[in-house]
Every structure is written in structure tokens, then in C-alpha cells.
Amino acid sequence: MNVNQFKFKTEGYEPFLDFLKGCCILFVIGSHCLPAQQYILYPIWGQMAVPLFLLIQSFHVFKKEDVSLDKKSFVKLVNRILLPFFLVTSVAFLLKMIQEGGFTYNLLKQTIVSGGIGPGSYYPWLYLQFFLLLPIVFLFINKFSMNLLLSGIIFILISELLELLCWYININDAYYRLLCIRYIFLIYLGLVWAKIGVKINKMIVTLSIISLIFIFIFAYTDIKLEPFFFDNDWKIFHWISYFYPAFLLVWGLNWLYTRLSKRMKDAFVLLGKYSWEIFLMQMFVLSFLPLEKFLLLGNKYLMLVLFVFISFVLSIYPVILYKKYV
């Protein structure tokens, strides 16, 4: 086996992808409750969760021989993704109404503009956009028999044109947050995963290092690279940043996966299988778990440790218990 390359299974079950999702859902919870993330270099690992989730979604499309937006796909989308999301959002909305003493248009407006209630409420809308886009891209690439090099050039051009457009119109942060514009290049990298897997060579290492340099510039400096990279609250999420998580970071996580005990692997795989439910639970929990309540403890370090611990426990264990006993 070549330690510098591995391919994902295109048929049957691939446990490493669930392991990867398990890592990512922990990263997501951490990104919504951990303090001082810049000091633990969270932008180069923890904040890569959403790009990796979208990469996995893209890979699952491109690994197939044929893709279409049929009734079965839409039914699965509604039952598996949209209905649970709207159920959690509706319950959270009702509880917010009780908190505020009744219905207010401001609460309704805030919920609509945010895409939901709770941290990460934009992600289901990204998933939906990828769901609609991926089959179109799949058909386009197959129709014109485009190779990886040509596909990559086209996706870089599209991604860069979208950056320029966002800069030119100065798109509102609320709209930008809900649109998949900043993640489009991940569709191409999902195609690469399906065709050649994760390969570590001089070119990939060079591209990954370039990605890391840009991530550090975006996250840790005030340098603005507009108009080529639109500058806003989502500053590290640009096409140039994604070579690193798609290859070097995933290769590192695969290296870790092959060295963990079966018990540890199974634990992460289980989290990956339930990652959508855990994601929805953390949205709900962190909407009603105010950090300021922990100030009553007096000690700020104890306060932060308890807040992070309770955030993880309440986001994960109710889902595990529900799946096991209900």
C-alpha cells in the first residue's frame, strides 16, 4: 500500500468517511463554543469542518456512474435533511416566542434572515444548493468528457469570477452567509477524490502549503486581497484555501485513523453516522445555553471549561441515547 495515496471506496460502505464526519462534527461544536480559537490554530483544522462535509457530499455524487434529480432523491432529501431541520427550527422558534413573551416580527425576520435558529443554521441551505448543483455539474462534465486539469481550470475561473462579483456588488453578509458561492471549488475537489483519491506528491504538498499561507493571511493578518478574494466575516473560505483540507488534512486524519484502536475508530464512526442529528442538536442546545449564566460560578476558567463540556455533552449524548433506545 502506498502511504502517500489512498482512494475512497466507490462501491459499498466506506467507514473512513464516517470517521471523517465524526471528526468534523466535533470541530463544528468546538467552533461554536471554544474560546480563543485563534490561539489554538483552529482556523487550520477546526474551521475546516464545513468544507470537508461539502467535499464528502460532492464525492458521493461523483463516485456514481449516473446521477439525476429524481423523485427518490428529493424524498430522501426532505425526510433525512429538511424535515428534521424545520422541526428543530420550529421548536426553537416556539421556545424563543415564550422567552420573549409572544410572537414578534423581529424574531420572525431574524429567523428567516439567519436561515434558522442557532449556530450553523446556514449549513442546511448550503447542503440544499449543493444537492441541486452537483447533478448539473456531473452531467456537464460527462457530456463534454472534461479531464481533471480542464475541470480544475474552469472551476478556478468560476470561483474567481464569483469573488470579483461579490466584491463589485459588495454583497450583504446575511445573503453571502446563506449562499454556497464561497464553497463552489469544493465540487471540483470532490471530483478529484472520486477519480484519484487523496494523493500526496510535490504538487499537492505545494498547493497545500499555498493554501495554508493564504489561510494564515486571511485569519491572522489585516491584509486585504480584494478584489481577488472578497473580504468579509467568512474571510478564510476561498477556493485557494481548500487544497490543504482536501488533501493534507485528510491525509493526516487517515494516518490517525489507521493507528487508532478499533474502539476509538468505532466511536468516531458512530459520531459520523449521527453527525446530522448532532449538528441539529448543537444548533438547538447552543441557542438556549447562554455563556453568561456560567458567570455565577465566579471563576472564569471554570466557567469556560464547564460551558464547553456541557455544550459537547448536550449536543451529543441525547442523540446517542435516542438512536440507541428509541
Q: What is the pLDDT of residues 46-70, one digit of tens each?
A: 999 999 999 999 999 999 888 878 8
Given this model, what pLDDT does residue 294 score?
67
3-state secondary structure the chain: CCCCEECCCCCCCCHHHHHHHHHHHHHHHHHHHCCCHHHHCHHHCHHHHHHHHHHHHHHHHHCCCCCCCCHHHHHHHHHHHHHHHHHHHHHHHHHHHHHHCCCCHHHHHHHHHHCCCCCCCCHHHHHHHHHHHHHHHHHHHHHCCCCHHHHHHHHHHHHHHHHHHHHHHCCCHHHHHHCCHHHCHHHHHHHHHHHHCEECCHHHHHHHHHHHHHHHHHHHCCCCCCCCCCCCCCCCCCHHHCHHHHHHHHHHHHHHHCCCCHHHHHHHHHHHHCHHHHHHHHHHHHHCCCHHHHHHHCCHHHHHHHHHHHHHHHHHHHHHHHHHHC
Indicate the burial class of 79 (C-beta count within 10 angstroms; 0-12, 13-18, 19 or more): exposed
User: What residues contact 29, with CB distance under 8 A and at least 6 apart?
Assistant: 278, 282, 311, 312, 315, 316
Distance of CA 231 to the CA centre of its chain: 20
18: which 3 cell numbers? 464516517
- pLDDT tens, the chain, 326 aa long: 456 888 888 888 999 999 999 999 999 999 999 988 999 999 999 999 999 999 999 999 999 888 878 889 999 999 999 999 999 999 999 999 998 888 888 899 899 989 999 999 999 999 999 999 999 999 999 888 889 999 999 999 999 999 999 999 999 999 999 999 999 999 999 999 999 999 999 999 999 999 999 999 999 999 999 999 999 989 899 999 999 999 999 999 999 999 999 999 999 999 999 999 999 999 999 999 877 666 666 677 888 888 999 999 999 999 999 998 88
Q: What are phi and psi of 5, to 5 degrees?
A: -155, 140
pTM: 0.95
